[in-house]
Structure 1
Amino acid sequence: MKNLKFLFIFMLVTSISCAQKSPRLQSKGAIDGVNIAIDYGAPSVKGRTIWGGLEKYDKVWRAGANENTTISFDAAVTIDGEELPAGKYGFFIIPKKGDDWTIIFNTKNDGWGAYSYDEKDDALRVDITPEFGDENQEQLFYGIMDNEIIFAWEKVKLTIPVASL
């Protein structure tokens, strides 16, 4: 019985100490019949300054934690009116202070962070106006709803218009 209690306590401690601080999450949905899947590491704010602090302005960011955020489309789409072929893309954001933010769909989708990011691999870049709110989105969130991909973290929300071709 002592061994069983010890094993249980050991497993509990190991589970808590090894738990991911930025869990890997997925968001799936469809827009105009196009299936979309987003895979991302979901960091939390934890009282930190995110924009201009943890995530620097005017620098390419992996749009999540750990390995790259990826977005897959099973058919060609338009993103804010710009064409993007079907495929799986690394998704990056360039946050900007007082200006539109640049979202990037990059053909390299298997990197770790933005360390291996190369602009020559961009399939599409689009500027999106960020929305700043009063409520804090503690954990990074991606959603697929209506005709939009929603990105929200801290007090920022990006609404990315998507349509099928």
Structure 2
Amino acid sequence: MKNLKLLLVFTLITTLSCAQKSPRQQADGKIDGVSVAVDYGAPSVKERTIWGGLEKYGKVWRAGANENTTVSFDKDVTIGGEELAAGKYGFFIIPNKSGNWTVIFNTVNDSWGSSKYDESKDALRIDITPEFGDENQEQLFFGVMDDSILFAWEKVKLTIPVTIK
């Protein structure tokens, strides 16, 4: 019994000390009967400059922390008027200082970060107009809404329209 207590205490201490600073989150839902799942690491702003600072303008970003962000669809969909087959995709964003931002669904969904990102593996790229607000979204957030996937972090929101094919 004493060994079991020591093991539990050790496990708790290890878990607390090794806890991810950007915990994995999952957003699940249905859009027009299509099951959608977004798996992502959720970093926090922590008083940092995010856009143009931590995340450089014009550069591919994994849209989260640690392992790639992934988006899964159990049926074929249309995103921003473009067809995308059912499947699990690596999800990336290219933020821009002005104008539209690019969202990317890449066929490689098991990379770490964006250092090995390969544009030739893109299944779909679309431009989205970012929404800038006054309120700060401290922790990165994805949500599956009635007709879209919502991305929000810092003072930026992207609404990615999804319909059935």
TM-score (norm 1): 0.93
For 1:125, the equivalent position in structure 2 comes to 125
CA distance in 1, matches of 2:9, 2:105: 45
3-state SS of 1:72 partner: strand
**Structure 1: gaps (5+ residues):** none
CA distance in 2, matches of 1:63, 1:110: 14
Q: Deviations over 1:89-114 (max 9, x none)?
A: 00000000011000000000010000
**How much is the aligned-residue C-alpha RMSD, in angstroms?**
1.8
CA distance in 2, matches of 1:58, 1:99: 11
CA separation of 1:12 and 1:75: change in aligned 2, threshold 3 A: closer
1:40 paired with 2:40, answer: yes
3-state SS of 1:152 partner: strand
3-state SS of 1:111 partner: coil
- The structural deviation recorded for 1:17 is 1.5
**Structure 2: gaps (5+ residues):** none
Q: Deviations over 1:47-74 (max 9, x none)?
A: 1100000000000000000010000001
Runs of 4+ in structure 1 deviating by more than 4 angstroms, as ranges, are: 2-12
For 1:15, the equivalent position in structure 2 comes to 15
Q: Which amino acid aligns with 1:29?
A: G
For 2:27, the equivalent position in structure 1 comes to 27
Q: How many residues align?
A: 165
Q: Deviations over 1:8-39 (max 9, x none)?
A: 76555433221110001111101011111110
TM-score (norm 2): 0.93
1:60 paired with 2:49, answer: no
Percent of aligned pairs with the same amino acid: 74
